[in-house]
Homo-oligomer: A and B are copies of this chain.
Amino acid sequence: MAELQGFLFPRSATGSSSLLPQPPWHYSGTMLTLEYRTDPAAVAELLPTPLEPADDDPGAVAVIWADWQSCSDSFDELLDPVRSQYLEVFVVARCKYRGEHFSRCLYIWVDRDYAMVRGHHQGYPKKLGSIHLTRPVTVGKAGPRVGPGARFGATLAAYDRRLIEATFTMTEPSEHAGFVNALPMIHNRWMPAIESDGSDSLDELVTMRGFDAEVGRTYTGDFEITLFDSPVEG
Which chain B residues border A44 with CB–CB below 8 Å? Answer: 1-2
B196 pairs with A140, CB closer than 8 A: no
Contact of A201 among B26, B128, B202 (CB under 8 A): B202
A232 pairs with B201, CB closer than 8 A: no
Which chain B residues border A201 with CB–CB below 8 Å? Answer: 189, 202, 204
Of the listed residues A23, A70, A107, A201, the one surrounded by the most CB atoms of chain B closer than 10 A to its CB is: A201
* Known contacts A12-B46, A81-B153, A189 near B192 by CB under 8 Å: no
Query: In the complex, which residue of chain B has the Cβ closest to the Cβ of A95?
Result: B1
Which chain B residues border A227 with CB–CB below 8 Å? Answer: none
Q: How many residues in A have their beta carbons less than 8 Å from beta carbons of B?
A: 103
B1 pairs with A190, CB closer than 8 A: no
Contact of A140 among B8, B28, B51 (CB under 8 A): B28
Question: With the chains together, A11 CA to B47 CA distance in Å?
Answer: 9
B121 pairs with A192, CB closer than 8 A: yes
The copy count of this chain in the complex is 4
Which chain B residues border A165 with CB–CB below 8 Å? Answer: 80
Interface residues of A in 159-206 (CB under 8 A from B): 159-162, 165, 167, 188-192, 194, 196, 201-202, 204, 206
* Known contacts A4-B48, A14-B234, A125 near B19 by CB under 8 Å: yes
Interface residues of A in 115-174 (CB under 8 A from B): 116-117, 120-123, 125, 127-128, 130, 132-135, 137-144, 151-155, 157, 159-162, 165, 167
Which chain B residues border A56 with CB–CB below 8 Å? Answer: none
CB A218 to nearest CB in B, in angstroms, measures: 11
A107 pairs with B17, CB closer than 8 A: yes
Report if A38 contacts B (CB, 8 A).
Answer: no
* Known contacts A1-B47, A48-B11, A194-B121, A81 near B154 by CB under 8 Å: yes
A134 pairs with B82, CB closer than 8 A: no
Residues 79-110 of chain A, each 1 if its beta carbon lies under 8 Å from chain B, else 0: 11111110000000000000000000011100
* Known contacts A160-B162, A161-B157, A194-B189, A16 near B81 by CB under 8 Å: no
B46 pairs with A134, CB closer than 8 A: no
Contact of A190 among B9, B28, B213, B231 (CB under 8 A): B9
